[in-house]
Structure formats: structure tokens, C-alpha cells
Amino acid sequence: MTVVVNREPELVGCLVGDGGSAGGAADDRHESFEAFFDRLLPRAVSVGRRILGSRSDGEDAAVEGLARAYLRWDELSGASYREAWVLRVTANAAYDQLRRQARSRKFESAEAAPRDEMRAVDLRRTLVPMLRRLSRRQREVVILSHMVGLSHEEIAGVLGCSIGSVKVHARRGLERLRGDPAWQEALAEEER
């Protein structure tokens, strides 16, 4: 196994290879779109699923984000921010889908869903209105941090703001959620 530590400012980190030459632990930023797709699809689906509440809708949003990346692959293939770009486009596609659902009012009946799905629907019905009470930036930071699992640095890259701004929005958003009576009720319900 070959481990190459790269100290260039935009590429700080390690590349791990399975042999080959040290120069062959080729810059991960120039991987093929197929390899990029396979590697990023699970994270993109997770972003979409957490925003929309269902895996199939999350997959739709993820495919939308990755399809847009494919169309711009010549431009994105060498960019250090390409993962953040795709995750942001996926989140935007998921938000668009939420807006379309709200306009058309075509929500599935909760009675037809199995019990686990009913709990997920109930949690989403509780969480979505609470998240909508946050400012747009607080909502984005809370979702990307606590639901998608991005670091503050990654969130700053996705949103195009400073890490300090991300931390402030995360703290304020969580404080506001914790102070919401619906949040307390949801936590009590979840413990039962």
C-alpha cells in the first residue's frame, strides 16, 4: 500500500493507493466521472433523503445533482470543490421538490404506510416546520452538519461563506430548535 501526503494548500490530505508508483497515486481530482459518480452517489442520496424524507426521492435529487455534474464535467473534473458543488446542487434539487410538493399538495396518506414509515413521516412533519422557522442559512447549516454529516469546512465550501459564519449559524439554529416546544415534544415522543 502506498500513502502519499500532499501538502499543497488546496490538496492537503493523504491519498492511499494499492501499490503502483507514488506519482501514480494520481491526483484524485482527475478521476473519471464514472468513478466520481460511484464514490459520491451514497452521500448525495443521503443529502436528498434527509431533506425529503424518503430514499427514492433522495435518489431522484442525487441523480439530478450528478447529472448536472456530468454536463459540466469538463469544468468540474479538476475542481477541488466538485463534491461540495454536487451536494449543494442535490440539496437545491431536493428543496425544489419540496416546493413542488407543497404547491400540488400530493402527500401520501400516512395510514397506508407501515409503522416505521409512519414514524418517519411524523418526524418529518414535525421537523420540516421547525426547520422552516430558522433563517435560510441556519437551516442549510443545520441540515448539512447534523443530517448530512459535513464538517464545518465542507459546509463553508458548499455555502461560500467563512467557517466562523458556519459555526455561528449552527449554534444559533440549534439554540432556536432546542427552544422550540415542538422540538421538546418530538424528543419526548422519540424516547417512548
Give the mean model confidence (pLDDT) for residues 53-66: 91
Looking at the structure, tell me whether residues 59 and 125 fall in a common domain: no
pLDDT band at 190 (very low <50, low <70, confident <90, very high): low
Residues 137 and 93 in one domain: no
Identify the domain containing residue 8 by its residue range. 1-30
Of 3-12, 35-44, 86-95, 159-168, where does mean pLDDT reach its minimum? Answer: 3-12
pLDDT at 103 over 90: no
pTM of the model: 0.44
Query: What's the chain's average pLDDT?
Result: 76
Query: What confidence category does residue 12 fall into, taking pLDDT thresholds of 50, 70 and 90?
Result: very low
Whether residue 79 sits in one domain with residue 150: no
End-of-domain residue from the set 81, 107, 133: 107
3-state secondary structure of 151: coil
Number of structural domains, the chain? Answer: 3
Residue with cell 494548500: 9
CA 134, CA 155: separation in Å to the nearest integer? 17
Same domain, 3 and 37: no
Q: Quick one: average pLDDT of 104-120?
A: 56
